[in-house]
Structure 1
Amino acid sequence: MSGATAAAPPASRRREYLAALALTALGAVALLAASAQVWVSARVDLAGDLAPVAVELSAADLVPAVSALGWAALAALAALVATGGAARRLVGLLVALLGVGVLGAVATGLRSSALADAALRAVTAEGTLGALTVAWTWPVVATVGAVLLCAAGVLTLVRGTAWPAMSSRYDRHSAPRATRTGTPAELWRSLDSGADPTDENAEPKER
């Protein structure tokens, strides 16, 4: 696998890298967007002559992990850019696990028993659940975001070591220039003559 990775053309590696970044970003945005919406509307019938109470439950009420994992995915996006090699593969594994975590949280939070319990907890008086409606658009958006994170994580885990790394690019440009070789006495004479001993092309100035 490593030989195939190394043999991939630079343009193909760059496309894979950008695809992983885009999938991670889209997955994180989908989770954060879905977490702010109402997922469930319910009616709770109260005991006695009290009027029924309308209840709206957001992702924060049902699956608070969606928002937290969305922010974690954004942090992982920055880590994908900043790392390289084996460290980037570890980030890819983390991104995939974030997606799996969201899928598990959504599946658990949308169980009928969990929805009923959440609706009844939202009212202060005792009552029974009269009706419940799930706005499936936002759970689906969160699920799609989780799938995107899984895809980005797997892609990074398999191919990430061949992608360009920001750290190596900056290290290359920020590396100090080679100093002129010579004895300490020769370097001192260069300084005394007004030449820059770190500039290989500099000539001593006539005094």
Structure 2
Amino acid sequence: MGCVSAVPVPQPRGRSGAAARAAGAATGRRTLAAALLLGAAGAAVALLASGRIWAEGATATPGGTLSLSAEGGDITGVPSALAVVGLAALVAVFAVRRKGRTIVAALLTLSGAGAAVAAFLGASDRDALDEKAAETTGDTAATIGSLSHTPWPYVTAAAGLLILLAGLLALRYGSLWPAMAGRYERDGTPRARTAPVVDPDRPEDLWKALDRGEDPTDGDQAPPGR
């Protein structure tokens, strides 16, 4: 007996298109949730960690040694500033479409990258503590000894990477995400103006209609129910 090969039955084009749209919508929902979580968490952690102590040390004084510390904002204000920019960009992604969304997503990505790099560089900074030592002792040549850094700069850098990942998701899948409803957008189309209803029993309405160049005796101007 000869072998009978199974012939694949072609699927209706409409069904395959609907399946593709459903898959795209599901991917959009998942990536949207992930980007929101990553971006919001990254911005919050970056702002929190920037206010923690990043560096500690001691400087010599006539009476012995003086311990000093520097917060993230004393060393660099870039991570916290870019965290705010990234959070604003994450929200603005939903207010724009097409090229505008790509530009905002790129801004979100760059904000995360910049925050991570600035925090990483700040992990080895000593200038802020040297300035504090000179200001505290009144000696411009005073420096910090026994310098040490806490983990907070690296936490801030990791938070910047979360913002960066949110931006990459927006660049890759932003076209699948919903946008602001059309009724909130102004397209420049002239709005139809509805003529005010003129009450013939109100003299002020009659005068206003005459000022507008309307005929107040026109039956179409009469209020409903009269």
Q: TM-score, normalized by length of structure 1?
A: 0.72
* Residue 62, structure 1, aligned to residue 72, structure 2: no
Residue in 1 that maps onto 2:170: 156
Q: Deviations over 1:78-117 (max 9, x none)?
A: 2123222221121111111011111221232223xx32x2
Q: Normalized per residue, which structure has more helix? A: 1
Q: Deviations over 1:55-88 (max 9, x none)?
A: 1100111121111111112211221232222211
CA RMSD for the aligned pairs? Answer: 3.0
Residue in 1 that maps onto 2:202: none
Query: 1:128, CA displacement in angstroms?
Result: 3.7
**Matched residue type, 1:121:** E
Asked whether the equivalents of residues 79 and 156 of structure 2 are also in contact (C-alpha less than 8 Å), the reply is: yes
Query: 1:155, CA displacement in angstroms?
Result: 0.9
CA distance in 2, matches of 1:32, 1:192: 61
* Residue 35, structure 1, aligned to residue 35, structure 2: no
**May I ask how many residue pairs the two structures share in their alignment?**
175
* Residue 45, structure 1, aligned to residue 60, structure 2: yes
Asked whether the equivalents of residues 41 and 133 of structure 1 are also in contact (C-alpha less than 8 Å), the reply is: yes
Query: 1:194, CA displacement in angstroms?
Result: 7.8
Residue in 1 that maps onto 2:110: 97
Highest Rg: 1 or 2? 2
The structure 1 segments of at least 4 consecutive aligned residues displaced by more than 6 Å after TM superposition are: 192-195
Residue in 2 that maps onto 1:166: 180
- Relative contact order higher in (CA < 8 Å, ≥ 6 apart): 1
Unaligned runs of 5+ in 2: 1-19, 193-217
Query: 1:192, CA displacement in angstroms?
Result: 6.9
Q: TM-score, normalized by length of structure 2?
A: 0.67
Unaligned runs of 5+ in 1: 1-5, 178-188, 196-204
Q: Deviations over 1:17-67 (max 9, x none)?
A: 222122111111111111111111111123xx3321211100111121111
